[in-house]
Structure 1
Amino acid sequence: MLRLDKFLCEMKTGTRSQVKVFIRKGLVTVNGTTVKSPEQKINEKADTVCVNGKRVSYQKYAYFMLHKPAGYVSATRDSHDKTVLDLMKEPGNPLLDRELFPVGRLDKDTEGLLLITDDGELSHRLLSPSMHVPKTYYVEIDGSLSAGRQECLRQGVDIGEKHGKTRPAVLTEAEKGGFCCAEAESAWLLTITEGKFHQVKRMMQAVGRNVVYLKRLSMGALQLDETLPRGAFRPLTEEELEKLLKEGESRL
């Protein structure tokens, strides 16, 4: 149960003082009945709350899938570059007024799946090194990979970290798609369960190859919607969110 004014503030209907004005003017109804007390308790998940005839639905946290393009940094603010949050503009969507942040980082020149949310607990579970959440990337490199190089990547390579080699990875050759760069000689799908700084690029450098294009396709149970254009975003579907939350719980 929540106080009505707290509920309306959390749903970004207005500031506490603005919400009290709405209530005092009789613009707020609960289950069809006009309410004049901001202290009234409501069941945020069951009651129907409307402001000026428009329903206000309860959502504790916001979850968005963003198809990150190159050229944007994975941060909430930056003094030099545009951030991924600069892409998320949609007038009249109160969920975008929340303190959203990207879950993890993709390099400025890397594209693909990025989860945007205000759910700090889920973010912690997905990013915690102890959880080993798998992340799959489409990688184009400037050369081929011999059987020996492939096996090195699968077993783990030394990228200069003090704790030794990277964890074992899953590597399969892929067809070069519509993303391919002119200097790319081969393409691969690489799944890792860590999130070290520039890890995919450093892993390829460890076997003598350079990444010329990189795109994240999945993070845990969440897969990039390939129909989502670069730079576009959308809320997670109920099915996507359910799978993601269950995975986070199963890794506790």
Structure 2
Amino acid sequence: MKKAKTLPLDKIIQGQGFGTRAYCRALIEAGVVTVQGQWCDDPDKSFALEELNFTINDEPHLYREHVYILLNKPAGFECSQKPKHHKSVLSLLPAYLRERSNQSVQPVGRLDVDTTGLLLLSDDGQFIHKNTSPKKQVDKTYHATCKHPITDEFLNQLKNGVLLHDENETIKANAARALDEYTLELVISEGKYHQVKRMIAAASNRCEALCRIAVGEIELPKHLALGQWVFLEK
């Protein structure tokens, strides 16, 4: 039977992003940390990591080797760790998630600055690759508000393939349907630059607003407000 992995409490707290090891030791020694519901002021005491629950200043946390986050991205944020013109989407997360000592938490793919909706974030390289590699062909579903009414001809162009500027081959939507006179649901599996907007333009319409509602089988929760996030359990 495989022995459960253990770590000293100060290393556990540090690895979860709560500061330097010295700062985490000070937190523990100050008596503000509980583990599995019991107060612990010994930073060197070791605990098994599996299903480890702890609190810091009465705020509950679950030990996570990796984090998988679903964010309802608002407009005006860049999907970058080093944004150039707007705030990073990472600024919407608490500091402890941005400062984990594992691989940095990063967006899984990108949404344009003015695009809203479902954005995944993680520090698990395999998860990121699975959901971004072109070879994996993961569907992405969008709702687009169009300037002109949606016609059957427009939908057929998207499904049969449109030629984007500076591209040599036509690109087809995996699915396209009208939700109302001006709202389009579009499913694609590629991730080309401004692809949805360019596809709509190539079919003689214009995208006025864009929201991603699903990545593969992961859907944007209807109750999740813009700027809010939740953990996903892999």
TM tier, smaller: 0.7 to 0.9
**Which segments of 5 or more consecutive residues in structure 2 lack a partner in the other structure?**
none
Shift in alpha-carbon separation, 1:49–1:150, aligned structure 2, 3 A: closer
Question: TM-score under structure 1 normalisation?
Answer: 0.74
Q: Matches of 1:52 and 1:132 in 2, distance apart?
A: 44
1:216-236 CA-to-partner distances (Å, cap 9, x unmatched) read: 111112211222222x21223
Aligned to 1:2: 6
Query: Match of 1:210, as an amino acid?
Result: R
Question: TM-score under structure 2 normalisation?
Answer: 0.79
1:134 pairs with 2:139: yes
Larger strand proportion of the pair: 2
Aligned to 1:180: none
Aligned to 1:156: 161
Shift in alpha-carbon separation, 1:175–1:149, aligned structure 2, 3 A: closer
Q: Percent identity?
A: 31
2:62 alignment partner, SS class: coil
Q: Matches of 2:230 and 2:60 in 1, distance apart?
A: 19
Deviation at 1:148, TM superposition (A): 3.5
Aligned to 2:196: 200
Q: How does 1:27-46 map to 2 (within 5 A)?
A: 36=42, 38=44, 41-46=46-51
Aligned to 1:235: 230
Q: Matches of 1:17 and 1:83 in 2, distance apart?
A: 28
**Which segments of 5 or more consecutive residues in structure 1 lack a partner in the other structure?**
177-185, 246-252
Q: What CA RMSD, in Å, does the superposition of the two structures yield over aligned residues?
A: 3.1
1:15-72 CA-to-partner distances (Å, cap 9, x unmatched) read: 223344566788877675968573x653111566677887763112223322222222
Q: Matches of 1:158 and 1:132 in 2, distance apart?
A: 20
Q: Matches of 1:46 and 1:69 in 2, distance apart?
A: 32
Residues 9 and 16, structure 1, Cα contact 8 Å, conserved in 2: yes
1:128-182 CA-to-partner distances (Å, cap 9, x unmatched) read: 1011111111112222344343222113222246562224420111126xxxxxx
Which shifted more, 26-35 or 105-114? 26-35
Residues 54 and 63, structure 2, Cα contact 8 Å, conserved in 1: no
Residues 73 and 89, structure 2, Cα contact 8 Å, conserved in 1: yes
1:213 pairs with 2:217: no
1:68 pairs with 2:64: no
